[in-house]
Structures are given as C-alpha cells and as structure tokens.
Amino acid sequence: MAVALAISLVGCDQSLPYRAPGFGLFSKDAPTSRGAPVLLSNSEWWKGLHDPVLDRLVTLALARNLNLAVARERIVAARAARDAIPGGAALTSTLRADITGSSNSSGTATNGESRLGLNWMLDPYGARRNQLRAAGARIEIADAEADAAQLLVLFNMANALATLRYNQALLVQGNAELAQRQNTLALTRKLASAQSATRMETTRARARVAELQSRLPGQQAAVAASLNEIAVLAGTGPGGLPDALMQALKAGGRQPQPGLSPEVGIPADLLRNRPDINIAERQYYVAVAEIGVARAGLYPQLSLTGAITLNGLGSGTRTDYFFGPVVAFPELPAKPAQARVSARYSAARQAHITWKATVLDAILEVENALVAYQAAAASLASAQQASQLYLETLGLTREVFERGEATLGDLIDAEEAVLSAERILIDLRLQHALQFISLNVRLGAGQSKEASGTF
C-alpha cells in the first residue's frame, strides 16, 4: 500500500508513533451481512436507472463539464510541480561577447567568455527523494480530487434527470387529474339540472378544478428549470443542448426505476473507492514524506561543483577551471530546524487522525445511505399495493354510483384517493431513484478512469 511506503521514509526512527493506515476501524459486528453481499463497484451504475437519455447526458457531461475540466487541469499542474523539482545533477552554460573602448583612444578590445558549470547535489539524507515522493502523492491527491469532481457530476446529473422525470410525471398526472375533475364538474352540473346534486356539490367541483389549474404553471416552470440545470451540467448554457437530446428530454419518459435489490450487503473494502478516503490517505503520505525533508535540514548538505571557463582576451585565450566538494552546514543554533521537524511530526499525526475521521464519516454515510435505500424500496412496494387497491375501490364505487347506491360525494372521494395514491407513488419513485444514486456515489462508484475514458 502507498502509505506503507511513506512509513519507510523514516527508516528505523522509533519516534514516529504510528503505523500505515489500515481498515481495522471496521467492526466485525458491523451490519454488512443483510444478505448475500453485492459488490456495488459498477463504474457505470447510472445505467441501472434504465434511462438511455441519462446515458447520453452522462457521456456529454463527462466530456464537457467545466468544473471537471478545472479538476483535470489541477492534475497537469501537480505533475508540472513535480517536474520542477531540481534534479540531483545540473549543467549550466553561459556565453558572453563584448567590445570595449574609450573616447580617449581609437583602439577597441574584443572580449569573449564561455562557461560550463556542473553541480551534483548528493542526497544522503533523502531531502530530494522525499520531495519527489511528496510531489508524487500530491499528483495522486489531484487525481483523487478529479475523481471526486467526476462523482459530483454524475451525482448532480443523475439527480437532475430524476427530478426532471419527476416534474414531468407530476405535470402529466396534473393534466390527467384536471381532465378528470372537469368531467366530474360536468357530471355534477348535469345532476344539478336534474336536481340530483346540490349547489354545494357543484361549487365543490368547481373549486377542485380551479385549485388544480393554479398548480399547473408551477409544475411547468419546474420542468423548464430542470432542463436548464441539465444543460449547465452538460457544459452548455440553458437551451444549448443538441436538438435531438433536448427533444428526447422534452418528450418525457418514465421515472427511473433502479433494479438493485434492497437486500444488499456492503463489504467495508468497497469504501476504498471513495475519493475522500484516497485524498486523506495520500495527504498522510505527503505529511510523512515532508518529515524526511525537514529532518534532512538537520544535517550538512554535500555537493560536488565545478566549472570550465574559456576567456578570449583580444588575440589571446585563457582557460580556467575548478572542481571540488562543497559542504553547507546547517544553521546554528539548531533549535529552529528541530522545531520544524517537530511541526512536521505533528502535521503527520494530524493527517493520520484526519484519515481515521474520514473513514468513520464514510462508514456512517454508506450505512445511512443503505438504510435510506432499503426504506425507500419498502415504501414504494407498499405504495404500489395501496394504489392498486384504491383503483379497485374506485371501480367498485362507480358501479354502485351508477346503480344509485352511492352519492356523488362518495365518487369524488374515491377519485381523490386514487389521485392522492398516484401522487405518493410519483414522490416515492423519485426518492427511490435518489437513494439509489446517493448509495452508489457514497460508495465511490463511477469515479474510475475506465468509466469515463477521459484520463
């Protein structure tokens, strides 16, 4: 493991009071055996929502999302920072030529100089070696941050599509409900003319129609807002999506329905997919490597340096050269340098504690996401059964109403119960999809480089 390598940087120093991070924080009694474990490591989990339009949106967003583009540029910057660390050996060269003269003399002199220098910094105490290791870990941090940015894009895009389908379902259901209420109003007026319905029943039917008409504009605005959000997530402005994709979004579709069974166990090792845990682990790696850099400052620095200089003076030339070791002793008194080492040890201990806290937070998030997904699945199953029963009740009420054995109020109440059950179903389908999305993102699924094909 990468962090185990970082520990080796301090050699046999027994004063470093910690070990490489391990997942021993997970309790053996943790509730991870709810059923046969299912590995939720699918890098394309969003396809489990069974919406081909979402698949196209994800492909577009991973290629064009601006926040993700910035995160990828940070990887480039981190690599450049590593490459900018001076090497152990360096060559320098200069070339100079000039003409000198005086206003009191008609003569001039031509001078030239070329110089080739060599500097070889020995690294017996690992200062540069640890700098390179820390820089390499920072590249991995930037890489993990890009993974986190990709997860956020997937999370937001899947949520936006699920919300769009939810708003469209509400709008379709609202229009159907409006048509039904208008039919009920027409029936009420017909019965009122035949003195089979009261004025109160007619007024109530009119109020129900007006109430629903007041909600429809808000639902239409919610659909437009969802379309705008999707366009921005895809790296375009509102209305900037390709025409074919925009038409597919506006055409509507069924709400996403995850196919994952709620009876799923989550092995703790899957949490290693999470970018925040990877970032915390590599930050610990950086902190340990920087201890080695600080400790190297307690010892003399040894280098071999030399230069060859060729001077051209008028018609003559002269070659000068030197070569030899250079020793730079540490500053005295040594207390400031020792204090810097102590500060690095403290930073490493803080990074280790932060890593443990990150793991515990991740466990909490995954456990809560799993419980929420199971609850959403159970609620949706019960709501589907209730909706079916209310439909049967409405059919029976209509039959007895036509025989004159039920009042108009009974029929309206039965219709309201069906519509209410359908609205609950729409809400629960959204919650089921959102909890599925949350569970996969909490597990870090979808951040692998193979998923996007962009790195």
| Euclidean distance between CA atoms 63 and 69, whole angstroms | 8
Distance CA 214, CA 174 (A): 11
Binned at pLDDT 50, 70 and 90, residue 219 comes out as confident
pLDDT band with cut points at 50, 70 and 90 for residue 455: very low
CA 311 vs. chain centroid, Å, equals: 61
Q: How confident is the model over 224-276, as pLDDT tens digits?
A: 999 999 999 998 888 888 889 999 999 888 899 887 766 655 655 566 678 99
More confident residue, 156 or 215: 156
Give the pLDDT score at 18.
Answer: 38
From start to end of 255-328, where are the E strands?
301-313, 316-328
- Mean pLDDT (the chain) is 79
- The gap between the terminal CA atoms of the chain, to the nearest Å, is 22
Least confident of 29-38, 153-162, 423-432: 29-38
CA distance 49 to 436: 9
The mean pLDDT value for 17-31 works out to 42
What pLDDT sits at residue 182? 74
pLDDT in tens, 82-116: 998 887 777 778 877 777 666 666 666 677 778 77
Res 315 pLDDT > 80: no
Give the pLDDT band of residue 160 (cuts 50, 70, 90).
very high
Identity of the amino acid at 215: R
User: Residue 298 to residues 141, 333, 338, 381: CA-CA distances in angstroms?
Assistant: 28, 11, 7, 68
Predicted local distance difference test score (pLDDT) of residue 444: 83
pLDDT in tens, 346-403: 999 999 999 999 988 988 888 898 899 999 999 999 999 999 999 999 889 888 877 7
pTM comes to 0.76
d(CA 428, CA 420) in angstroms, rounded, equals 12
- What is the DSSP track for 42-90? -TTGGGGG--HHHHHHHHHHHHH-HHHHHHHHHHHHHHHHHHTSPPSEE
Alpha-carbon radius of gyration of the chain:
36
Residue 10 has pLDDT above 50, yes or no: no
Of 440, 291, 307, residue with least CA distance to 365: 440
Separation in Å, CA 173 to CA 2, 92, 153, 170: 54, 76, 30, 5
Q: Tokens in use for 383?
A: 């709501």
Return the higher-pLDDT residue of 29 and 108: 108
Q: Which helix (H) or strand (E) holds 117?
A: strand 105-121
